[in-house]
Amino acid sequence: MPVTVVVGTQWGDEGKGKVIDLLAGEADWVVRYQGGGNAGHTVKVGDRQYVLHLVPSGVLHDGKTCVIGNGVVVDPEVLVEEVDDLASKGRSLDGRLFVSDLAHVTLPYHRRMDEAHEAKRGAGKIGTTHRGIGPTYADKFGRVGIRMGDLLDPDVFLRKVRRNLEEKDYLFRNFYNVEPVTIGEIEASYRKYMPRLGPMIADTVPMLRDAVAQGRRVLLEGAQGTLLDVDFGTYPYVTASNPTVGGALTGSGLPAMAVTGCVGVAKAYTTRVGAGPLPTALPDEEDEKLRVLGREYGATTGRARRTGWFDAVAVRRAVAVNGPTDLAVTKLDILDTMDRIQVCVAYEYKGRKLVEFPNSIEVVENVKPVYREFPGWKQPTTGARRWDDLPGRAKEYLEGLSGLVGVPVTIVSVGPERNETIRVRV
């Protein structure tokens, strides 16, 4: 710190929640900068597991100020439910959670549009979570979005909703053939959640500017991963925002010169949920075995994740885009029983060797991975708390990953618990 960005370097689900929770203990402010309620950051503290969708992971540490930045799309009902759930578990957010007045609002018609659009695609589905994230961002960039600050004035809010419903109603009835959302549905939910949300809505840009000026330590927390970035990911099988360092700046309002560090998070292998290519995907039997070992099911949707070997080509793309100073490798312990571990070091495509991640989705869908084999360590790593506690071959594997992607490994997770972590360099 003082300003550190945490990014996923794969297709999301890298274990960012645990890494952010670890680093949040050293921060004063924790800021979520993009994505929406489709995110699922899982953090285990003691015997209790938390799945956070909108609220920054800093909530699990006392005394941390949490911000939902302007780059996030906020479903008010989801946020209220999450705040209430945390309070029921002894994690009150009173006076320490702020939501940017510039953040865009996900409304019931966005969720219905998301589901209807996916159904209309048929076999060409993207694999969205049906949480309305894409349609909310589409309205934002179409300049018809509704922002959290609009919620503070009922007349302004409802006028803008009515304006949008004219277009949405036509699409629902005539293109998607589903029932439209009514103004009554939206107004009823608005009246229910606004008394709770009003005190949280603030202009967070000067708040963060002042925090940095005062030397406060700020942690910027992203959702999803770089290979799902709308610009740099496997388009069109991507999310609707920028989960990269660039997104951290535009999604928080902090200038580039404020950022002093970036932690990239990668699983010791690779997973992907939803549609889209996964070059190192395992055969069905091995895929199922690794999925069970790693408990690879989506924290938000419960969908099974596809699994594959570590893809250094893909992670190098993330390194190039984000420039991480540190690499956190999670779920190393899941590989403890493996005899041999493969790492993709390049792709083959039509007789050519590719070391850079292709921009063309048609190429990515048809590459053949070139593997380097590492011997398994066949010893448990869950009890390791220092680098020297790890088996020699596990250290060789981590050093190999570091060399292949060009970033030092400084955090290693060997289990879901907060303390099941090795800090290689503090």
* Alpha carbon distances (Å) from 71 to 74, 79, 421: 9, 15, 30
CB 319 within 8 A of CB 405: yes
Kind and range of the H or E element at 288? helix 284-294
CB contact set of 27 (below 8 Å; sequence gap of 6+): 1, 4, 58, 64, 217, 218, 219
Considering the candidates 13, 150, 287, 333, report the single residue annotated as catalytic: 13
Q: What are phi and psi of 298, to 5 degrees?
A: -60, 135
| Prior bond of 236 cis (ω within 30°) | yes
Considering the candidates 41, 53, 104, 117, report the single residue annotated as catalytic: 41
3-state secondary structure of 14: coil
Per the annotation, the verdict on 41 as an active-site residue is yes
Distance CA 409, CA 325 (A): 9
Q: Tokens 């989801």, residue?
A: 78
Per the annotation, the verdict on 104 as an active-site residue is no
Kind and range of the H or E element at 163? helix 154-171
Q: Tokens 């899982």, residue?
A: 42
Cα–Cα–Cα angle for 313, 317, 321, rounded to 5 degrees: 165
Distance CA 10, CA 329 (A): 11
CB 220 within 8 A of CB 242: no
Residue 297: Cβ within 10 Å count: 14
Give me the active site residues, please.
Answer: 13, 41
